[in-house]
Structures are given as C-alpha cells and as structure tokens.
Homo-oligomer: A and B are copies of this chain.
Amino acid sequence: MGRPREFDVDEALETAMELFWRKGYEGTSLTDLTEGMGITKPSLYGVFGNKEALFLKALERYERTKMSFFHEALKEPKARVTAEKILRGFADAQTADKDPSGCMGINSALACSEAAADIQKCLIENRHRDEHELGKRFERAAQEGDLPPGHEPFDLARYIMTISQGTAIQAASGADRAALYRVIDMALQFWPEPAAEGS
C-alpha cells in the first residue's frame, strides 16, 4: 500500500549521525542533512519528524553502535579492567578513521543558542548518567576490595570520565590514537595492575 520508500532509513540515519558528529547540532543545516542523506525535506520530516527528533534518533544510534563498549566494560570483574576498557574504548571511538574525530555527545552542543538548549541539557544528562553508572560500578568494587586505597568511587568515576572527555577534545584537535593511548597509560599509573595469578 502506497509508494515504496526510495532510500534506506538506516543508511540515512547513519549519514545524519556523521553530520551532527562532525558539525554539531546547530552547525548542521537541513540542507546539509538532505543533501548528505540524499533525500528531500518532506521525506526527512515524514520519516524522522523534525530536526530535533532526527538528532535524538541519530544520538540513539551513536550510543548503540559506537558507545556499546561502555556497558560491556561495566561487566568486567575487575574495576581496573573496566576503567581501562572505558578509556581505550572512548579513545578508539574518537579516532576511528572512517568516523568524525572526537565524541558526538560533546561535539554536538557544548555551547549553543537557546534554540538548542533542550539538546544541550539532554547531552549533559547523558554524561551525568554515564558517570553515575561508572560510580555505582566502582561502589561495588569498593565493597569487593577492588579499588585502590584512598579513593572514593564517584571521584574515581569522575576522574575516568574527565580523562575520556579530555581525549575527546584532543581527538577533535587532531591527536591520533597512539597519542591518546599514551595519555591513558599515564592516567592509569596510579592504579596498580592486579598481581598476576600463579605460583
């Protein structure tokens, strides 16, 4: 029933994600979007609603396809492995050759006009949510004696997220993955690696 759609919705959303990632929410115009996605404005509005709804769908896709390492890392039995996998996971996502540099959630609306205030607030809440989830993971680690002595779980979580947000700026400024890895190595120095098992 009805004329069939002439474009792939998922493919178009991928393009929208890349555009928002690279140019930010307000920096990406509807013309950028329709030309990039290869569709017309009525098609875009028919399928995705409006610019804001399209962004939120693109963000959801970003979280699902590029940030999946985060929740995976939370499942690691040792907190230090969780921390390291999160740091390297962010660095990897921020420096993938085929993707824009940096972090979509930070690039999209760090500072913006009032028109994008809702998007900005949403992205800030996402950062808080992730940091809080990591804090809860570290709280469990503290109970397990799995945290370096003298550190609060939520301070540790903020520390890890701060490094990751710092590498996002570094990546957006041109730093390559190897450089970010060296930063991460330094950032984890204070956290002793677990002694190797064995006789």
Contact = CB atoms under 8 A, between A and B. Distances in A.
Interface string A121-135: 000100110000000
A61 to B, nearest CB: 17
- Top 5 A-B pairs, shortest CB-CB distance: A166-B166, A162-B166, A24-B111, A107-B111, A165-B169
Contact count band on A: 35 or more
A166 B90 CA distance: 13
Interface of A: 21-24, 26-29, 32, 102, 106-108, 110-113, 116, 124, 127-128, 151, 155-156, 158-159, 161-170, 172-175, 179, 182-183, 186-187, 189-190
A102 B113 contact: no
Contact of A170 (B24, B29, B108, B158): B158
